[in-house]
Structure 1
């Protein structure tokens, strides 16, 4: 039933994509609502907000799923598909990737910049085609993990409650990271949310990176993972980007002419610098990784049936 739920969601997404902007806005508004209600400037307030805003919805999802399953398995199946349709969003990021690639190939540089800025949530002025391509590949690798592979991992473990837990943990970790009005200052309120997300993302990030290595250049991906990932400021992002760059045979990271010149961007990967010609290779890597996950799940399902 798990495999069938995933296949149905992927087919539904191809027919009618999830409204990515609305989904993102709803998650962000939810996180800000919790922050307004609970933020007293201390870590314990963030802990309470996380339990109420993340733990409780995940628990309720778990209970609803098993109540529906006790009534009829078809009801539980429909509920799983509905939850995954809004949480397991392959098209939530791939449309940005495709549109940026098309804009660059058509020579519409300003349009590509606007799309990248909307996707990453920050201004992307004065970027050339190569820099846009590199940032798009980096964002695509990270988004594929956070919107597809990591929610899929937790769904396989705990059903729809696992996917809800991960996506809400991601939302709160990002939304509560900085103090309001002082984006350079880490907020004590969000410290527990960040630690909780890091714990939830530890194993999925490494499994996603391993999957990229398997479906790409395995030797280079593992080499970059072992020797370069630790240089990146965010540990999980460094593992994903290093493995993805090595699997693709390209270079990511490195200083770019972007607004935040103080940002630490060590070089990742081997081979040529990423450019517009590598965009299709990157989306192909993600698709191959997804197909591999589905094949492994199908084999496990078949083995369970036979056993």
Structure 2
């Protein structure tokens, strides 16, 4: 069931990609904003209450819907899983931007590449050099692949046997709430930060291991061990260090932004990032996706045999 739902959702998402600005996401974000306005009194417990109010009803609908439909027909339960996976995963959400930037750089259209990158990341890109655009594109692609594919897939598979698509829904909701409430000096958002950090712990390491297996294993592991802690966000550092080592490319380093030079740690190993490495980065992500699909297939087969 899990592997079939995954394959169908990935195929559907490739044929008709869904935007992260779709009505369901926007409705959830508006609800999160309303909860913050009404409940944020500057205390940690208010953030806990708001998180539970935002997430628990959504999980209840997801789980009850799966149980009821699965009792009527296995195929209806499968369709329910495919629907929620389609809504929560988003390989095309980043691969489309990645492809557009790569094409623009190959055509020496730096302005176009900067514009696509700015729309994707929300960062200032007007002063970036071509190599800096390529470097930031690889970094954003690695992080988005984790958020929209690998972590969502991990939690779907982990809970699918009992709760259908609830794991994928839980992870996507946790991501959205952390984006809205977390990452700031505010007690209200600390619970959202803590939940996402907990949910990320295992899939971050499995994803990094996948990059190592699908690329240069020794360099990926060495960069992971020696460089991940230098990045501001340790989980992101693990992903970027492993991907950079697997590709044999240097990430991080300085960026020309906001009329100054933004200094960042060097992460990865090998040649400086350039547009020539963008196809290799896409290939690494795809190989990792196929590895995960193969693992899920074996897991499903083992369950079926048992």
Q: TM-score range by the shorter chain?
A: over 0.9
CA offsets 1:64-99 (integer angstroms, 9 cap, x no match): 211221222111111111111111111111111011
Structure 1's unaligned 5+ residue stretches are: 179-184
After superposition, the Cα gap between the structure-2 partners of 1:263 and 1:129, relative to the gap in structure 1 and judged at 3 Å, is closer
Between the aligned partners of 1:290 and 1:75, the Cα distance in structure 2 is 26
Give how far 1:302 is off. 2.4
Show the counterpart of 2:16. 16
- Aligned residue for 1:188? 187
For residues 37 and 284 of structure 1, what CA distance do their matches in structure 2 show? 46
Using the alignment, how far apart are the partners of 1:26 and 1:222 within structure 2? Answer: 41
Tell me if structure 2 keeps the 8 A contact 1:42–1:189: yes
Contact 1:253 1:265 in 2 (8 A): yes
- Considering only aligned residues, what root-mean-square deviation do their CA atoms show, in Å? 1.7
Residues 25 and 123 of structure 1, relative CA distance in 2, 3 Å threshold? farther
| SS of 1:66 mapped into structure 2 | helix
TM-score, normalisation: structure 2: 0.93
Please state if 1:135 is matched with 2:136: yes
Instruction: Tell me if the contact between 1:252 and 1:273 (Cα under 8 Å) persists in the aligned partners.
Output: yes
Asked whether 1:231 is paired with 2:224, we answer no
In the TM superposition, residue 22 of structure 1 has moved relative to its aligned partner by 2.6
- Residue 171 of structure 2: aligned partner: 166
Matches within 5 A, 1:1-307: 1-22=1-22, 25-159=26-160, 160-177=165-182, 186-259=185-258, 265-307=264-306
- How far residue 28 of structure 1 moved from its aligned partner, in angstroms, is 3.5
Q: Deviations over 1:23-57 (max 9, x none)?
A: 66455434323322322222211110101112332
Bigger Cα displacement from structure 2, 60-69 vs 244-253:
60-69
CA separation of 1:284 and 1:260: change in aligned 2, threshold 3 A:
farther
Measured in 1, the distance between the counterparts of 2:260 and 2:127 equals: 13
Which deviates more, 82-91 or 61-70? 61-70
> SS of the residue aligned with 2:220?
helix
Tell me, yes or no, if the aligned pair for 2:127 and 2:259 is still in contact at 8 Å.
no
Q: What do residues 190-232 of structure 1 show as CA deviations (whole Å, max 9, x unaligned)?
A: 1110011101111111111111111111100000000000111
- Alpha-carbon separation, structure 1, partners of 2:27 and 2:120: 16
Structure 1 Cα separation of the partners of residues 246 and 57 of structure 2: 39
Post-superposition shift, 1:264?
Answer: 5.8
CA distance in 1, matches of 2:265, 2:123: 20
Length, aligned pairs only: 301
Judge which range, 117-126 or 144-153, deviates more.
117-126
TM-superposed CA distance for 1:294, in Å, is 0.7
Which ranges of structure 2 fall in alignment gaps of 5 or more residues? none
Report how far residue 306 of structure 1 moved. 3.4
Q: State how far apart, in whole Å, the 2-side matches of 1:260 and 1:8 are.
A: 46
| SS of structure 2 residue aligned to 1:122 | coil
Contact 1:176 1:193 in 2 (8 A): yes
Contact kept? 1:249, 1:271, Cα under 8 Å: yes
Distance change in 2, residues 1:31/1:103 (3 Å): farther
CA deviation profile, 1:249-292 (whole Å, cap 9, x unmatched) = 00001121123958662110110011100000001000000001
Q: C-alpha distance in 2, partners of 1:281/1:263?
A: 26
Is contact 2:18-2:87 (8 Å) kept?
yes
Would the aligned equivalents of 1:233 and 1:264 in 2 still touch at CA under 8 Å? no
Say if 1:193 and 1:132 are closer, same or farther in 2 by CA, change over 3 A: same
Seen in structure 2, the aligned counterparts of structure 1 residues 224 and 260 have a Cα distance that, compared at 3 Å, is farther
